[in-house]
Amino acid sequence: MKIQAIRGVKDILPGEIEAVQRLEQAARSIFESFGFSEIRIPIFEVTELFARGIGATTDIVEKEMYTFEDRDGKKITLRPEGTASVVRSYIEHQLYLKAPVAKLYYLGPMFRHERPQAGRFRQFYQIGIEALGTDRPAMDVEVLAMLSAVLNQIGVTEVQLEINSLGDSVCRPEYRKTLKAYFKTYLSQLCENCRRRYETNPMRILDCKNEGCRAVTAKAPSPLDHLCADCLVHFQQVKDGLNQLKIPFVVNEHLVRGLDYYMRTAFEVTTTKLGAQNAIAAGGRYDGLVKELGGPPTPGIGFAMGVERIALLMERMETPKPDIFFALLGEEAVRRMLPVTIQLRGEGVRVEMDYSGGGLKKQMGLSDKLGARYTLIIGENELKAGKAMLRNMADKSQTELSLSELAQTLPERLRKT
RNA sequence: GCGAGUGUAGCUCAAUGGUUAGAGCACUGGUCUGUGGCACCAGGGGCUGGGGGUUCAAUUCCCCUCACUCGCCCCA
């Protein structure tokens, strides 16, 4: 039996990883310019954290978690998302005492036992942020501006930002009642799934894609018409802020996030290019979560970006090519030049060389194949004359360099062109 | 969890119920013994995903299984 990667997990190979790296670099630098700091959270946690944080009736908790017992019999789960862990850490280390607002970002793998398909894996990568400690709409705007900046930076522009407000602990229970009353008369027209949601989480019916359900939800009372005064003002200020920053968005009153903890602002960035997996980033405000997990009442907002999905929208990028290839003929040349290659590499020059001991023709071929800009040729003749031949691979011009000064002259030459 | 499709060389794909399963690209070597891309020539590579069945004979037909892809669901 062949050993291979388990279902739904994937190697990201050279040629594919470059887009991921660029996304990560762009995110890091933009997040940090917004004053966010990285937090490295564990890949597994006690199961209860996710059950309570994400919501016991969500699909993630009900059927998608990688949960098992460790050797002590403790129930642990591979993290299906990052927010719960960040909040746990925030509470555990009392970060609320250190600054009025904690602005954190994280990146790394998440695990969900789902059926894999395009843009959906069982181990997938997210880059996420959380801002804990303020419920000001300005933070919602800032967070969305930051997300938008990252996507712009990496050239992912044909996407749509959808936002909605889900109400808070004041108006949401009222709305929920109104919604249930409305759906009650249409129960028979709803899909099986939604009939269950009617009991557990009626708002989820709003974003069901089933045709029958859509017909019913089209005329359903909108959450936006049932916001309390505070939520209404908050939502309006978020929209105003986005307009002021000229960040395009559409209000989607049927947007309901799949995790229980969201309140007020909820948003999604979607694309039409990835089939059924149209969400490339999503998030929202979760003002009740910190308290729910045992911390002081603390508002918060965050989002997560789907790394693989965004990478699929980015242009494929080349793996870095060598600056220079050392074509060395004979053991003596290898012996003499090895320290030079190490020194140059220490200065950040990408140096490649031949490891097979082949002839010059073969080494030139390898240099060409690797895409080196220059090839440095050193054989017996050069050693005797104290020279090295530097060949520009693009225009075939060659110049002689003094062997003893290579370490000084080469970086200079490579920088010039 | 449900439905559909596809599994043949490293990659993209042919082929046929019947001799030794082919091509292009890639790879290795040569033409060209110290100068790359081009061209020509040669070569290495395959339990045709795995198992079972039908058959004189299966890569081909049937069943099971595994994997991948796409959709449903859900989500990033």
A252 and A128 in a common domain? yes
Lowest mean pLDDT, pick from A9-13, A20-24, A91-95, A401-405: A9-13
| Check: complex ipTM more than 0.90 | no
Cβ proximity of A198 and A204 under 8 Å: no
A271 and A364 in a common domain? no
**Whole-number pLDDT of residue A385:** 93
Cβ proximity of A168 and A287 under 8 Å: yes
| A15 CA from B24 C1′ (Å) | 23
Q: Which domain holds residue A41?
A: 17-171+227-313
Number of domains in chain A: 2
Q: What is the pLDDT of residues A356-369, one digit of tens each?
A: 778 899 999 999 99
A113 and A30 in a common domain? yes
Nucleotide nearest to A363 (CA to C1'): B36
A327 touches strand B (CB under 7 A): no
**Whole-number pLDDT of residue A202:** 85
Most confident of A113-117, A209-213, A376-380: A376-380
A406 and A279 in a common domain? no
CATH number of the domain where residue A69 is located: 3.30.930.10
- CA A332, CA A371: separation in Å to the nearest integer? 26
A343 and A238 in a common domain? no
Cβ proximity of A402 and A387 under 8 Å: yes
A79 touches strand B (CB under 7 A): no
Burial class of residue A159 in the structure, from the number of CB atoms within 10 Å of its CB (0-12 exposed, 13-18 middle, 19+ buried):
buried
Q: Which of A263, A292, A313 is the last residue of a domain?
A: A313
A378 and A290 in a common domain? no
**Whole-number pLDDT of residue A12:** 87
A298 and A368 in a common domain? no
Q: What is the pLDDT of residues A172-225, one digit of tens each?
A: 888 988 988 898 888 888 887 788 888 878 888 888 877 778 888 888 888 899
CATH number of the domain where residue A381 is located: 3.40.50.800
Q: Which of A283, A313, A343 is the last residue of a domain?
A: A313
Contacts with A25 (C-beta within 8 Å, 6 or more apart), sequence order:
none
A161 and A269 in a common domain? yes
